[in-house]
Amino acid sequence: MDRSGWSGEARSEVALELLAAQERLSALAMAVVGEWDAEQAWALDGALSPVAWLAHRAPLTRQDASTLVRTARHVHAHEKTAEALNAGDITAAHVEIAAQAAKHREEHYPEHEDVILDAARELSPSGFREVMAHWRACCDAVADHEYARTQI
CA dist 34 and 72 (Å) reads: 4
Model confidence pLDDT, tens digit, residues 107-121: 999 999 999 999 999
Work out the pLDDT band at 142, boundaries 50, 70, 90. confident
Question: For the whole model, what pTM was predicted?
Answer: 0.88
Tell the burial category of 46 from Cβ atoms under 10 Å away from its Cβ (0-12, 13-18, 19+).
Answer: exposed
Q: What pLDDT, on the 0 to 100 scale, is given for residue 146?
A: 67
Tell the burial category of 18 from Cβ atoms under 10 Å away from its Cβ (0-12, 13-18, 19+).
Answer: exposed
Q: What pLDDT, on the 0 to 100 scale, is given for residue 1?
A: 84
Model confidence pLDDT, tens digit, residues 43-61: 999 999 999 999 999 999 9
How far from 35 is each of 67, 99, 131, CA to CA, in Å?
Answer: 16, 16, 28
Mean pLDDT, the chain, rounded, equals 95
CA dist 15 and 62 (Å) reads: 28
CA dist 53 and 111 (Å) reads: 33
Work out the pLDDT band at 151, boundaries 50, 70, 90. confident
Domain ranges of the chain: 9-150
